[in-house]
Structure 1
Amino acid sequence: MTAPPALPEPAHAELDSMLSRKFGKEVANYFSGSPLNRVSFLRTDHAFLSQALKHPSTSFLLFNNLNPLVKSPTQLGYSLYKDVQSLIGEDPFTKSEEDLIKEYNSSTYIPQLIFLGLDDRNKEGLVYKDHYKGAPYFALDVTPKESVTTAAESLIASLESKGLEFSKGRMHLSLPPEEAAIYAAARHVLDWNSRNPFCAACGHRTFSVNGGFKRTCPPADLASSLDTSSVPRPPCATRTGVSNLSFPRTDPTVIMAVVSHDGSKILLGRGKRFPPLWYSTLAGFLEPAESVEEAVRREVWEESGVHVGRVVVHSTQPWPYPANLMIGAIGQAIPGGEEIHLGHDAELADAKWYTADEVREALRIGTSGIGEGPGPEYKEGGLRLPPGTAIAHQLLSAVVGGFLGGEAKI
C-alpha cells in the first residue's frame, strides 16, 4: 500500500490567534489549499488575460474527457502556450468580452479555456499593473470534438510520445495537496461548463465568458460561418433583471461524525455499494431553506433512525465529483435517541455504533480507498474506514483524538 499524500497546511497556522487558542487550529482538507491567487476581478480584463496566456511562466493543465494530463500518479503534467496554440488560436482574448458576445457564432466550436489564477511564489511570473504578480495557470479541454478533432488528436499523440498520459481514474487522491487543489478547481469548472451548453431559460446555446467562470446567453447569433449577419434571438429571461449570466454550480453536502450521548461510541454506516466491513460517516445533500445543523439532524434520522441534538461544524472540503462542498460536522445523539432504524430511507445497507477504540484502531491500520488494500497490520474481519484524503477520516480522527474534550489546541 502506497503512503497517502500529506494534507494541505492550514492558512496562517504559525500565527497566534485567540480563535485558535479557543477552538483549535483550522483544519484544511484534501482538494483545498490551492497556492493560486484567483484574482477573480481580473477575469473580465482581456488585456490581462492576453498577457497571461502567452507569458513564458504560464502553465496549462490539459484535460481529455475530464481526465487530467499526468506525468505519474503523483505529478500533474503541464503544457506551454506553444503546445496548445494550434488548438486555441493566436489569442482568444484580443477582443473584449462585450465584442465577443456581439459576434457570437453558435456554429463555431471553441475549446473550453479556464483561467485558474496566479502563483505569486514564482518570481519570474507575470507582473500586471504593478500589483498582480505570479505565474499564470490555465485549464484547457483538449477532448477531440467538432472542428478541433484533428488538432486535438495531434496534440494528444505528441504528449503521449513524451511519456505523458491522461489519467483514467475517476478520482485522483495521490497528488500532492497543492497539485490536488489546482486539479480540483480545474475539473470542477470544466465539468460545469460542459454540463451547461444551453440556456436553462430559453434553450439556446450559451457562451463561456469571464475566464470560464460564467456563461451568458447572447442576444444574437451568427449561427453560420458563411453568413456574417447577426440574427436576433427570441427574448430570454436571463437578459432582464440583474445580469445575463449563470455561474458555476456548487452543491453543499453535509457529512457528519455522530457520537452517542455519553460520547463513548461513534455511528458509522455502510453504503449499498461499499464492500463488506467498509464503513464511513453518514452524509447527504442540504435542501432549500435548511441550515447545516438541520440537514445533519435530518439526514442522520432519515438514514439511520438516530436522533441528533447539538451539531458543531468541524471543517469543509471541496469535492470535484462533480461539484460538492462537503461541510464536515460532529453531532451528538440525544438521550434515548440512539436506536438504529434503517426503515426510513433505504440508502444504507447497515449502520452500527462502534467504540472509540475500535475506530481508533481502524484509523491506524484499516484505511484505504474502496478497492484498495489496508495497512500491513490489518487483521481480516476488522473495520475498514476511508483514507486520510477523505473528510470522513478527519472527522473520525477529531472525535477519537480529543476534539470533544474541550481542550485548547494551538
Structure 2
Amino acid sequence: MPPAYVLNRLDRRANDRSRPDWIAELRQHPEARLVRISGEATLMQHGQLVTTWSDAEDASVFLGLDAEGRPWFACQTAETPDLRDLRSLALEEALPPEELGILAQARSILQWHDRRRYCSNCAGRLEIADAGYRRHCPGCGMNHFPRTDPVVIMVVRHARGILLGRQAAWKPGMYSALAGFVEPGETIEDAARREVFEEAGVRVGSVRYVSSQPWPFPSNLMIGLVGEALSQEITRDAAELEDARWFSREETLLMLARRHPDGLYAANPYAIAHELITAAITDWPT
C-alpha cells in the first residue's frame, strides 16, 4: 500500500481549464462528480464519498476527468455530522487510494481559495479564473496562483543505526523522520542537511531521493530522502523535538512491526516517513 494521497488518476486537463465554455459544458455532464470539503474533512455517507451532483451547490474548482470521462469538481460545504477527517480516512484505509488522492487535491486548492480572497498587491477583491486554478485582480491586473510548500523529510543512517525523533504532541511511543520546510534559495539536499543539524546536531553528507507525498495540511509536498551521517553525537533542539536517538536495524524492524518491547513504534504506514524508514533499512550496509 503506497502512502496516503499519492495516487490520483484524474486527468487534470490544465490546458483546457481556461476555456469557460468547456468547463460550463462539463458542469452539465449527467455523471459529474462533486467532492465536498469542510476544513480538513470531507462529506461521507454509508462509508462512501458523497459525490452526486446537486443543483443547489456551486462547484468552485475543476479537478479533472476520471478514466470513464466523468468530470470531478470540488466545493466547500457546511459542517454536518457526516464529515470525516482526511487523516482518519487515510489511517483507517477507509477509502480507495485513488479517492484519497482526489481529496488531497480538492482540500489543497480549496484552502488556498480561503486564504487568497484579496490581492496582496493592491488589496482589491480577487476573481476566480481558470476553473479555480487562478485568481485575477481586476484592479491592478495581477494574477495569483495556488502554492505548494516543499518540505524535506529525511531518515539519516550511520553505522550505529538510523536517526529518528519525536515531537511532544505526538502519541506516546511514536518516532519518525526529521523534517522541515525548504527555504528560499536553498536546494533540497542542503535543506535536509540544515534541518537535521538544527534539530539534532548531526552533520549529513550524501543525500538520495526516495519518493514524495502530497500532504494537504494545508498544501505541502513532502520530499522523502535518505541521508548518510557524518557525525554521531546528538544535540537536540528541545523546542523542536522531545527526543532524538539512534535505533539499530533490529530495533527499527520491531518498531515497524509494532513489537518493540518498550512500546515504541515507527510512523504510521500512511505517512511517507514509514516508507523512508523501510527504505533506509532495506539496503542497510553489512
TM range (shorter): over 0.9
Task: Rate the CA distance shift 1:63–1:290 in 2: closer, same or farther, 3 A.
Answer: same
Equivalent runs, 1:130-279 vs 2, <5 Å: 134-143=69-78, 165-168=82-85, 171-173=88-90, 174=93, 175-219=95-139, 236=140, 239=141, 244-260=142-158, 262=159, 264-279=160-175
Equivalent runs, 1:103-122 vs 2, <5 Å: 113-119=60-66, 121-122=67-68
1:69 CA displacement: 1.1
Question: Residue type matched to 1:167 in 2?
Answer: R
Query: 2:268 maps to what in 1?
Result: 387
Per-residue Cα deviation, 1:218-248 (whole angstroms, up to 9, x for no partner):
13xxxxxxxxxxxxxxxx3xx3xxxx31111
Q: Counterpart of 2:265 in 1: which secondary structure?
A: coil
Aligned with 2:9 (options 31, 35, 54) = 35
Q: Distance in 2 between matches of 1:297 and 1:138?
A: 40
Q: Distance in 1 between matches of 2:206 and 2:25?
A: 52
Query: 1:77 maps to what in 2?
Result: 50
Task: Rate the CA distance shift 1:303–1:178 in 2: closer, same or farther, 3 A.
Answer: same
Moved more, 179-188 or 268-277: 268-277
Q: Distance in 1 between matches of 2:86 and 2:213?
A: 20
Give the gaps of 5 or more residues in structure 1.
Answer: 1-5, 8-28, 89-111, 123-133, 145-155, 220-235, 367-377
Q: Distance in 2 between matches of 1:363 and 1:170?
A: 20
User: TM-score if structure 2 supplies the norm length?
Assistant: 0.92
Q: Does 1:351 align with 2:247?
A: no
Q: Kindly indicate whether the alpha-carbon contact (under 8 Å) linking 1:286 and 1:292 is maintained by their aligned counterparts in 2.
A: yes
Percentage identity across paired residues of the two chains: 38
Q: Counterpart of 1:191 in 2: which secondary structure?
A: helix
Question: Residue type matched to 1:166 in 2?
Answer: L
Give the gaps of 5 or more residues in structure 2.
Answer: none
Query: 1:87 maps to what in 2?
Result: 57
Question: Residue type matched to 1:247 in 2?
Answer: F
- Number of residue pairs the alignment of both structures matches: 283
Equivalent runs, 1:53-68 vs 2, <5 Å: 53-68=27-42
1:214 CA displacement: 0.8
Q: Does 1:330 align with 2:223?
A: no
Q: 4+ runs of 1 displaced by more than 3 Å?
A: 168-172
User: TM-score if structure 1 supplies the norm length?
Assistant: 0.65
Q: Kindly indicate whether the alpha-carbon contact (under 8 Å) linking 2:40 and 2:217 is maintained by their aligned counterparts in 1.
A: no
Per-residue Cα deviation, 1:175-211 (whole angstroms, up to 9, x for no partner):
2210000000000000100111111111122111111
1:67 CA displacement: 2.4
Q: Kindly indicate whether the alpha-carbon contact (under 8 Å) linking 1:265 and 1:355 is maintained by their aligned counterparts in 2.
A: yes
More strand, by proportion: 2
Task: Rate the CA distance shift 1:405–1:35 in 2: closer, same or farther, 3 A.
Answer: farther
Q: Does 1:339 align with 2:233?
A: yes
